[in-house]
Each structure stands twice: as C-alpha cells, then as structure tokens.
Amino acid sequence: MPPGWQAVRDAGAPLVLAAPREPGQAHRFRPNMVAVVERPPPAVTDVAAYTAASIASMAQLLTGLHVIAIDVVTLGEHDGRRVLCGHRDGVYAIATEHWWTIAAGVATALTASCQVEDYLDLSPVFENIAAGMVPAAQVPGVQTGAGAGAHAGPQAGAGAGE
C-alpha cells in the first residue's frame, strides 16, 4: 500500500484504499482505489463482453463519461483490460482507470479515481497497485455449488470518495 494510504470500509467492495487527506485539501475529491469481485451474468462470458457491459453501465450512471483508452492487458496470466475514462462528479472532473479480468467465471475489477489535475502524479501509484492485482477465484461471501448466488453484473466504478 502506498505510504499514507489507508483501507476504508465499504460494504459494497472487498477492498477500498484512500489517499491521505492533505492539509487544506478537505474540499477536494479524495483519490481512491476500489476492488470489486463478482460473478457476471451468464451472457457476459469473456472480458470483451464484460468491458462492453461495464462501459454501457458507466455511461448510464456517470455524468459526461468519456472513454479515453481501452488497452488489452494481462492480469495474473488472464486476458484483461485497462480502461481510462473521465467523467463529472458534481464540481469535480474525475479521471478513472479501470483494470478487469474474468477467471473461472469470476470478474475481478480494480478502479482508481482522482481529480483529472492529479492524474499524472497519481497514475504511477495506480499502476503500481494494479501490477499486484491477482484475479479472485471466487466471489467473497458467496458459496460455490448448489444454491450459490450471483451478483447482478459489472459495477460502474468508484464513488466520490470522502
């Protein structure tokens, strides 16, 4: 974990990391990284379909979404995607960098968010954390086998922070 960053509790994600609050920065968007593990719907069978579904979901939920780049990457020996986007969150212009993959029917997604003007400084931090991403083998808290539940589908990404 980067120096000064801290784990933050969020019932909707197994891991949320937040940057430290700098003095005088109380009214700025707090940079963060959110990990999500889910079982995609049956129609979403590969990372390309997951990417399309995730971007469609983000376009409905995020104001002024602009997809800047979609890169093919390898995450833990699995085909994955890195997606760089920008959107508005109230008065903030937000840069989001997403990494996701699907392994054994389980999607693992990592989303990094910060204000656009902070992105060049924080991008190496985000990339360093993403480099250690290990795809999940199962959805946390979901039993496998008979009666196992599934999540609704791709997540839109990180929220506004604190």
Distance CA 31, CA 159 (A): 10
Query: What is the three-class DSSP state of 122?
Result: helix
Select from 76, 121, 70 the least CA-distant residue to 98: 70
**Residues 27-86: tens digit of each pLDDT:** 778 899 999 999 999 889 899 999 999 999 999 999 999 999 999 999 989 999 999 999
Task: Please tell me the predicted confidence (pLDDT) of residue 12.
Answer: 66
Query: What is the three-class DSSP state of 131?
Result: helix
CA distance readout (Å), 53 to 32, 49, 56, 81, 93: 23, 6, 5, 13, 23
Task: Please tell me the predicted confidence (pLDDT) of residue 29.
Answer: 87
- Taking only Cα atoms into account, the Rg of the chain, rounded to an integer number of angstroms, comes to 15
Let me know: does 136 contact 100? Beta carbons within 8 Å. no
What confidence tier does 91 reach under pLDDT thresholds 50, 70, 90?
very high
Query: What is the three-class DSSP state of 19?
Result: coil
Let me know: does 52 contact 61? Beta carbons within 8 Å. no
Domains of the chain: 6-131 (3.40.1000.10)
Q: Which pair of structure tokens corresponds to residue 23?
A: 């003095």
**Residues 103-139: tens digit of each pLDDT:** 999 999 999 999 999 999 999 999 998 998 889 888 8
